[in-house]
Amino acid sequence: MGLVEIIPLGGAGEIGKNCTVVSQGDDMVLIDCGLSFPNEEMFGVDIVIPDFTYLVKNRHRLKGIFITHAHEDHIGALPYLLAKLKVPVYSSELTIAMLRQKLEDRMDTREVKLHVMNPGDTVEIGSLKVESIRITHSIPNTTSIGVMTEHGWVLFTADFKFDFTPVDGKLTDLARFAEMAEEGVVCLLSDSTNVERPGWGPSESLVSEGFRKVFTTAPGRVLITTFASNIHRMQQAFTVASETGRKVAIAGRRMEQTVDLCTRLGYLQIPANTKIKLDEVNGLSPEKIVILTTGSQGEPMSALVQMSKEEYSRMRIREGDTLIYSARPIPGNESAIWRTVNRLFRMGANVIYDSPTPIHVSGHAYQEELKMMINLTRPFYLAPVHGEPRHQALYREIALEMGYPAHRIFTMVDGLPLRIQETSAELGEPVECGRVLVDNAGNEGISDEVLRDRASLANDGIVVISLAIDPEAGEVVGNPEVMAKGFSGPDKALQLCADTVYDTIRGLKKSELQDVDFVRHTIGDVARRQFSRRNQLRPLVVPVVIEA
């Protein structure tokens, strides 16, 4: 029997940009193709996507892309990959519909084959068979994905929780997972995001109670901010609003699009006479209103953030408004979120971000649920993904406690293939892998050097040092000039820098002064060293040599 490789190109040892290859002989499939968000040091970076070099090089083997669900960390990089490779995509109805909407802005969707693959469906890709299995998460139509290889099922749990009272009533197909265990699961790639939380996670349905409490006690309008993709949450808002005599309006283009799409496809059931337009809000008394709004991550252009700055033309925050913060801050967004919340308080609104009756629950499995998944599928190898190294380490500990021997638990790392043979498995040599930074305009490939320069600029400003030389004669002409912007060091630091540069350049040999590049580098080095040693500053230093 042959070799089966599982290669994470993203999503292993991190939360975000999930993207994993399963390969056997000449056949290769990709599970998910997501993005992640930049950290606070990545100035001017909008999103981060996986490096697709490995996929492009193996394009003749890549025969299908399977998407577990429509969250950005699983689907968001797909438009960038499809721009390079026209590989057929398979996913459930809602995910395909949301993907189509996303792609329509960028390309002719007739060029790509988008196949609906509903829970329970299987697709043969060469020697591989791929099956999707229904599982519960915070977005409808989430599926685990099994890839049948020569060694058994390679099973991706996808993001999941075991929710026995899901909002849409569609339960996890536990029976199929148990059957797969009988058929043989060679490797389980499990969500590990919430491994630090003991016990069982609460059901999404509990949020209805939290909403009901606020809807019946809030003195005025209720605003709810959540992810634009949190369809279950929006369903609960509509249902509870209708029960408590409130009408629901939507603020934010992405949320409006999602609501329209899901209503059309039947994933949202809006009670009659419950939805109103945002412009109709002013004609109703405040205690009859709920507004669903984007901005749960403090995104600068979102409706909520604009409202908090009185820059949103369609609606204003009023004293007596109540905002329910029904989301989890993605790490890195906290300060933007708190700034928004604080502005709202200052405007006289009340913000509920924590409550004894839940107003938000996680979509990811807690410890006991993760154990149940292991018990249910009885995999030979375990590979926690969708987690940072600390999550993977804790998952490993739990698996050890459950009696798994250490050599059957793998800590996956982006770019390292897990190579499964008939009687053994090991992590192999790295493949080309990394991150690609994309700016606001959709341009790919902001380099680390550009990032470093931007960080220097943001922290310590820019210093331009110009010096004229006569390269033919090998002589310095005049004194160096120093100009600075955004530089916060003492004035004399700049003069001192000019003096040091001058002394150094004057000490160069004639032949060295004839080499313009050498002079430029020397000026830069000397100036940088000077600022960092004397002032503990790292401005962006730009040396300019003028040939006189």
Q: In the complex, which residues of this chain contact Zn ion (CB under 5 A)?
A: 71, 73, 159
CA distance 199 to 366: 6
Q: How far is the CB of 401 from Zn ion (least distance, A)?
A: 25
CA distance 427 to 431: 11
Select from 68, 73, 63 the least CA-distant residue to 91.
68
Q: Return the amino acid letter for 154.
A: V
First to last CA, the chain: 72
CB 235 within 8 A of CB 269: yes
Q: How far is the CB of 375 from Zn ion (least distance, A)?
A: 23
Q: How far is the CB of 223 from Zn ion (least distance, A)?
A: 24
SS3 for 387-453 is ECHHHHHHHHHHHHHCCCCHHHECCCCCCCCEEECCCCEEECCCCCCCEEEECCCCCECCCHHHHHH
* Residue whose CB is less far from Zn ion, 187 or 231: 231
Q: Token pair for residue 211?
A: 């909403």
Contacts of 288 (CB under 8 A, 6+ apart): 245, 246, 247
Active site residue 364: yes
* Residue that is written with structure tokens 């989430």 in the block: 142
Q: How far is the CB of 32 from Zn ion (least distance, A)?
A: 8
Q: How do strand 418-420 and strand 425-427 relate by DSSP bridges? A: antiparallel
Q: How far is the CB of 412 from Zn ion (least distance, A)?
A: 15
Sign of the alpha-carbon torsion through 287, 344, 307, 224: negative
Q: How far is the CB of 142 from Zn ion (least distance, A)?
A: 7
Active site residue 191: yes
* Residue whose CB is less far from Zn ion, 27 or 73: 73
Q: How far is the CB of 73 from Zn ion (least distance, A)?
A: 4
Distance of CA 418 to the CA centre of its chain: 24
CA distance 43 to 282: 39
Query: Which listed residue (360, 364, 386, 391) is catalytic?
Result: 364
CA distance 156 to 185: 10
* Residue whose CB is less far from Zn ion, 73 or 256: 73
Q: How far is the CB of 420 from Zn ion (least distance, A)?
A: 24
Going from the C-alpha of 56 to that of each of 28, 62, 111, 125, the distances in angstroms are 12, 9, 18, 18
Q: How far is the CB of 18 from Zn ion (least distance, A)?
A: 6
Select from 265, 275, 266 the least CA-distant residue to 237.
275
Select from 332, 263, 217 the least CA-distant residue to 97.
263
Q: Is 31 exposed, middle or buried (0-12, 13-18, 19+ CB in 10 A)?
A: buried
* Residue whose CB is less far from Zn ion, 11 or 480: 11
Query: Which listed residue (191, 321, 414, 460) is catalytic?
Result: 191
Sign of the alpha-carbon torsion through 216, 221, 225, 229: positive
Select from 215, 251, 205, 224 the least CA-distant residue to 324.
224
Q: How far is the CB of 426 from Zn ion (least distance, A)?
A: 27
Q: Return the amino acid letter for 385.
A: V
DSSP letters, 119-144, are TT-EEEETTEEEEEEE-B-SSTT-EE
* Residue whose CB is less far from Zn ion, 140 or 252: 140
Q: How far is the CB of 372 from Zn ion (least distance, A)?
A: 19
CA distance 385 to 410: 10
If one counts every other C-beta atom within 10 angstroms of the C-beta of residue 276, the result is: 18
Q: Is 460 exposed, middle or buried (0-12, 13-18, 19+ CB in 10 A)?
A: buried
Active site residues: 191, 364
